[in-house]
Amino acid sequence: MATAGEPRSSRGVAGTRVAVGMPVHNGERFLEQTLDSLLGQTYADFELVICDNGSTDATQQICRDAAARDERIRYHRSTVNNGATWNFNRAFTLTSCEYFKWAAYDDLCEPAFIERCAEALDASPGAVLAYPRSRLIDEEGNLLADHDDGLALGEAEPHARLRKLVCALGYANPVYGLVRASALRQTRLLGAYPSADYVLLLELALTGTFVEVPDRLFLRRVHPQMSRRVNPTAAAAASWFRPDARARHRMECWRLFFEHFVAIARAPLAPLERLRCGLAFVDSGGRRYGDHLLREFGELALAAVRPHA
C-alpha cells in the first residue's frame, strides 16, 4: 500500500531502543494532545511511527507538521482505510527496536511512562511487558476514576499467568504498555475480531511475565467516539477491524473462546504445561464466558429456525 511523507528510512534509527507505534484514522480532535504527551517523555531517545489509515480530516496535516518539528517522527500514510487491525499491526512491523509501545491517538501518557517501563523491563529479563497503573479521563481530560488492571503476572508457570489474566481482564490497558519486541514477534499480533487484544495479551503471557509499574502514568480516554461505541453492531465492528469483512451473524464470544485455544496450541510450551494451560482456560474461561457462549448459541439457533416458523 502506498505511503507518503516519510522523513527518513523505515528501518528505524541505529541505537534507538524504543519505538512507539501510533495507528490513527481521523483523529484530529485528540491527536495534538497525544503527540505532545509522547514527545514530552523524560525518556527522549525513541522513534515515533505514525500510521495514518486514509484519514480525511486534518490528521495528515497535524502529523506532517509534527514530523517537520521533531525528527523522531516517521509518518506513513495509506491512501485508503485498510481497517484497524491492519494499521495496528503495521505500526509494529515498521519498527525494529528492542522495546515497542502502541499508542492510541486519543490516550495520554504522563512524562515518565516510557522511562519507568523501560527500567522495569531492564530489571526483569524474564518479563515481556511492563505497564503502569491507569487513570480514566473524559473527552475534556477530566479525571473519571483511577483504574487498576491487576495484571502484574509474576507467576513462574504459564498456566498460572493464564488463569490470572483471564479472570482479571477488563479494559486491557496493558496492551498499551511497553513490550519486548522479540516476544511480540512470536505472537500473531492483533486479530481482526472484537477483543483480539485479550488474545494478544494471552499470547504474551504464555511467553513471559508482566511487570506493573505502581505509578499512574497512563490516561485512558473514555469518550463517545471510542471504536466500539461508534460501531455497536457485530457487522459494524467487523468492518472497523477489516473493511472487506462480510456482514453476517457473528458469534463473537465463541470466536474469542476459540482463539484462546489457538494461542495455547501455538505457544512455545512443553506438552504437560500446554495441557495445564488448556485445563486452566476451560475452568477460568468457562466461568467468565459461559453465559455469553450460551446466549450466542441460543441466538444462532433462533435465527436458524425463524425462517421456518
pLDDT, tens digit (0-9, with 9 covering 90-100), for 47-62: 999 999 999 999 999 9
173 and 275 fall within a common domain: yes
Shared domain check, 170 and 148: yes
C-alpha cell at 64: 506532517
Q: Count structural domains, the chain.
A: 2
- Within a domain: 227: no
CATH code of the domain in which 306 resides = 3.90.550.10
- CB contact burial 226-245 (16+ within 10 A = b; e otherwise): eeeeebeebeebbbbbbeeb
Same domain, 143 and 86: no
Q: What is the pLDDT of residue 294?
A: 83
Choosing from 52, 76, 106, the residue where a domain stops is: 106
Q: What is the pLDDT, as a whole number, of residue 250?
A: 65
Answer yes or no: is 216 within a domain. Answer: yes
- Same domain, yes or no, for 216 and 278? yes
C-alpha cell at 68: 517537520
Provide the pLDDT for residue 302.
Answer: 76
Q: What residues does 77 pair with on adjacent strands?
A: 52
Task: Specify whether the CB–CB gap between 39 and 63 falls below 8 A.
Answer: no
> In this structure, is residue 154 part of a structural domain?
yes
Same-domain check for residues 303 and 188: yes
Do 113 and 101 share a structural domain? no
Angle between helices 59-69 and 28-39 (to 10 degrees): 20
Q: How far is it, in rounded angstroms, from Cα 105 to Cα 21?
A: 10
Quick one: pLDDT at residue 194?
Answer: 87
Whether 272 and 201 map to the same domain: the answer is yes
**What is the Cα Rg of the chain in Å?**
20
Both 196 and 273 in a single domain? Answer: yes
- pLDDT of 243 reads 78
What cell was used for 85?
A: 487491525
Same domain, 141 and 277: yes
Widest Cα–Cα separation across the chain: 67
Pair (298, 260) in one structural domain: yes
**Is 208 part of a structural domain of the chain?**
yes
Of 79, 106, 133, which marks where a domain is finished? 106
Global pTM reads 0.89
Give yes or no: residues 77 and 100 share one domain. Answer: yes
Which of 78, 106, 134 marks a domain boundary? 106
Query: What cell does 41 get?
Result: 517523555
In a shared domain, residues 167 and 113:
yes
Total residues found in the chain within this entry: 309
* Cβ(178)–Cβ(129) below 8 Å: yes
Ranges of the chain with pLDDT below 70: 1-14, 226-240, 245-250, 303, 306-309
Q: Look at residue 233 and tell me if it is in a domain.
A: no
Residue 288 in domain: yes
Question: What is the structure's pLDDT at 13?
Answer: 55
- pLDDT tens string 152-204: 999 999 999 999 999 999 999 999 999 999 999 999 999 998 899 999 999 99
- What was the pLDDT predicted at 199? 97
For residue 45, the enclosing domain spans 1-106
**Residue 232 domain-assigned?**
no
